[in-house]
């Protein structure tokens, strides 16, 4: 798939990430990281995978940032508690049970909880079945 050149957006979002983090604006940094990662993903696809190491680096940086995100930490802790109580719960069920968190934030939180090895997401139809990682979610 071919995308337009994303060099300008990569530079823009890289700067926005740095400024947001420096000012302590976690919400803006979270949004900028998502856009930066997508820009690198599209640029990498357009270059036939030649930028995979750069994409991997920004994904690692984003993942490390998320560990410091208080909103993620709050959601992760609530999700661990819920999955501990209801092993095998489907991601689509969590939207209703943890309705204090918007759907997009649940998706964000569960994606990174899996990335961090806290929760296991197993594809089940059009959703995911959730369980705690072998470390018990700690």
Record the pTM. Answer: 0.88
Mean pLDDT by 10 residues, the chain (138 residues): 89 98 96 97 95 97 96 95 96 94 93 96 96 76
Position 29 scores a pLDDT of 97
Helix 70-85, helix 103-115: angle, nearest 10: 80
Residue span(s) of the chain under CATH 1.10.10 come to 70-132
Q: What is the pLDDT of residue 2?
A: 75
Q: Which CATH number fits domain 70-132: 1.10.287, 1.10.10, 1.25.40, 3.40.1350?
A: 1.10.10
Find the farthest-apart pair of alpha carbons in the chain and give their distance in angstroms, rounded.
47
């Amino acid at each position: 798939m071919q995308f337009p050149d994303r060099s300008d957006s990569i530079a823009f979002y890289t700067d926005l990430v740095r400024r947001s983090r420096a000012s302590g604006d976690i919400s803006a940094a979270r949004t900028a990281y998502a856009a930066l990662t997508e820009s690198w993903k599209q640029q990498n696809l357009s270059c036939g995978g030649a930028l995979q190491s750069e994409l991997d680096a920004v994904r690692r940086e984003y993942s490390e940032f998320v560990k410091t995100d208080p909103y993620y930490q709050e959601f992760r802790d609530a999700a661990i508690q819920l999955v501990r109580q209801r092993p095998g719960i489907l991601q689509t069920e969590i939207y209703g049970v943890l309705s204090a968190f918007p759907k997009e934030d649940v998706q964000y939180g569960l994606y990174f909880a899996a990335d961090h090895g806290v929760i296991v997401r197993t594809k089940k139809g059009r959703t995911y079945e959730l369980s705690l990682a072998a470390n018990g979610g700690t």
